Amino acid sequence: MGLIQTALIKQNDYHCKNIHPDIYVKARNSILKDGQLKAVVVRQTDEGYEIVKGNNLFQLLKEEGAEDVCCFNVGDISLDEAKLMYIQLSSELEINYVKIAQIISDIFSKFNIYDIEKVAPYSIAEISELKKLLEFNWEKYKQSEPDVEQGSLF
């Protein structure tokens, strides 16, 4: 991991994530407030470096005048290996919204809903709903396992 000059980095032409305008503004605000928090994944090429994952982040950093970008260099891998890695890195894990709600609840003592909304990928309404999630009585709706030995479930 290290800093690489933006002039040496080329964006790939196979990325498939379009950034929603609202998320773009939040990501930009986050960069302006806190700087670069995630590394761009790059591979070495004869011409310099090519992005494997992080085109949108790189574009935002360039637009904000970054001369160097924090990168994770995976070395001299083929284009096909880079594309496979892109798929691997792009597969999103399922989000545990109860844990997100707990994190939001934890930080409410320091940040208000507007501070969180500026940088989080959630609207004010979604943040409010996430806070309510912790108040939900899960035990009330917990069901016991069906007794399959009693016969058909249908």
pLDDT tier for residue 86 given thresholds of 50, 70 and 90: confident
Residue 148 has pLDDT above 60, yes or no: no
pLDDT digits (tens, 9 = 90+) for 9-36: 999 987 777 778 888 888 898 899 999 9
Strand partners for 71: 2, 40
Helix 55-63 to helix 21-34 angle (10° resolution) is: 60
pLDDT tier for residue 119 given thresholds of 50, 70 and 90: confident
pLDDT of residue 75: 96
pLDDT of residue 144: 63
pLDDT tier for residue 95 given thresholds of 50, 70 and 90: confident
pLDDT of residue 105: 87
SS3 category, 10: strand
pLDDT of residue 7: 96
Residue 147 has pLDDT above 70, yes or no: no
Dist. CA 31–CA 54, nearest whole Å: 14
The class level of CATH for 2-90 reads alpha beta
List of residues 6+ apart from 54 with CB closer than 8 A: 38, 39, 40, 41, 42
Q: Is the pTM of this model over 0.75?
A: no
- Residues 129-148: what's their mean pLDDT? 75
